Amino acid sequence: MLTVREGQERIVAQIGNAVPPEVLPVTRALGRVLASDVEAPFDVPPADNSAVDGYAVGSADIPSAETRTLDVVGDLAAGVVFGGTLRPGQALRIMTGAPMPTGADTVYPQEVVERTGERVRIGPIDKGVNVRLRGEDVEAGGIVIERGTVLRPQEIGLITSLGIWQVSVHQRPRVALLSTGDEVAEPGTPRRPGQIYDANRFTLRGSVEQCGGQVLDLGIVPDARDELTARLREAAAMADVVLTSGGVSVGAYDLVKEVLAELGTIDFWQVAMQPGRPLAFGAIGGTAFFGLPGNPVASLLAFMLFVRPALWKLAGRRRLFPPTWQARTLETLRKRRGRREFKRGVLAYRDGGWEVRTTGPQGSGILSSMVAGNCLIVLEEDRDDVPAGEAVTVEPFAEPF
């Protein structure tokens, strides 16, 4: 039996390099992963400029005590360059962001001066204040955003602030998705007695998209050897990853195993975890294959633990695992030593600390436990029952980025 960590390490080691890059306009790059470093083509900001609306002066004119009066020789808007040089005894009215005039190195905020006609009275101030220096944000040639970074709105804005409008990002890994089982019915169609509507293909679809993948939906395959063989072959030919749910345990109709043995090199793992022990992982030709359990909670959990890092690696991301936190459990948690258990939790901050409770019944078919929750409670292999009040590891459900 494998530990969760061992399973994850094997998968990450076996998954190939990131899918190739493509060049996209920044307006279509949100959520994509940078394929090469973004370097600054010039200093940011490109020139010393004023951080406030006020008056630019040369520091030689700053009085050390008392006040002094200077002539206001002009009015400078943002985006305009002052043509002349500021001389002793002169000040220039300047707006936030306007380049500093030659001869000035300090800006008085307008609230601290007294303006009368074309003259302004100033007092002591620190030399050099209220000036944003050329290159203080980024120096020309410096790396502004590293490859492997997911582009959020702020990264996009930083890129466009450099005058860049197209970027090299990884393509989205293609993930072929199918559900197995005679009992699984397509939502929106009538259902025969004994059938259940498909949940997994849709939790998995959303999960793939949240990971930056592109879904190729191959629908539901009945438990019939020939059809399964044909559909899996088709899936592998068109995708970087094939993802199925159901049919990997030991039921009489669990054909995925048999069929895969013919099509590719697949390991059937027993992972020391709860819920969701069985997992199939391997390759059909050059395409990675994951056979997830059929129970809806187990299949979504298996996705989070084993498929997400693989997709993130294929998508070119640097970080493959989400951060975890510590919280105090509000209830006693039943736990069997020797396996890693995952409960669905509700995490909240109260009275100066993070607290977590479970969402109630934790059966691996109870998908509403995922709906009610906002995190996984992770109980490590070496733990027994956890009494209320103890610290536990929590992993918040991932955001789209």
d(CA 8, CA 340): 13
Name which position in 196, 230, 237, 261 contacts ligand AMP (CB under 6 A): 196
Q: Is 274 in the site for ligand AMP (CB under 6 A)?
A: no
Residue in 248, 280, 250, 247 with CA at minimum distance from that of residue 264:
280
Check residue 198 for interaction with ligand AMP (CB under 6 A): yes
Question: 256-263 vs 225-238: helix axis angle to the nearest 10?
Answer: 50
Q: Interface with Mg ion by CB under 5 A: which range of 78-86, 114-122, 166-174, 288-296? A: 288-296
Query: Is residue 181 at the binding interface for Mg ion, with CB under 5 A as the rule?
Result: yes
Residue window 289-328: x/- pattern of binding to ligand AMP, with contact defined by CB under 6 A = ----xxxx--------------------------------
**Phi, then psi, of 193 in degrees rounded to 5:** -55, 140
| Rounded Cα gap, residues 78 and 325, in angstroms | 45
**Least distance from C-beta 248 to Mg ion, angstroms?**
9
Which range of residues in 100-108, 198-206, 335-343, 346-354 is near ligand AMP by CB under 6 A? 198-206
Among 229, 249, 374, 393, binds ligand AMP (CB under 6 A): 249
Buried b (16+ CB within 10 A) or exposed e, 240-257: bbbbbbbbbbeeeebbbb
**Closer residue to Mg ion in complex, CB, 277/339:** 277
Contact pick of 26, 144, 184, 302 for ligand AMP (by CB under 6 A): 184
Size of the site for ligand AMP (CB under 6 A): 18
User: Binding of Mg ion at residue 296 (CB under 5 A)?
Assistant: no
Taking CB under 6 A as the rule, does residue 182 contact ligand AMP?
no
CB 329 within 8 A of CB 386: yes
SS3 content of the chain, % helix, strand, coil (to 5): 20, 35, 45
Residue number with CB closer to Mg ion (58 or 181)? 181
Give the three-state DSSP class for 202: helix
185-214 b/e (C-beta count within 10 Å ≥ 16 → b): beeeeeeeeeeeebbbbebbbebbebbbbe
> Among 246, 264, 275, 276, which residue interacts with Mg ion (rule: CB under 5 A)?
246
Is residue 213 within 8 Å of residue 241, measured between CB atoms? Answer: yes
The site for Mg ion (CB under 5 A) is made up of 181, 246-247, 294
Residue numbers at the binding site for ligand AMP (CB under 6 A): 179, 181, 183-184, 196, 198-201, 245-247, 249, 251, 293-296
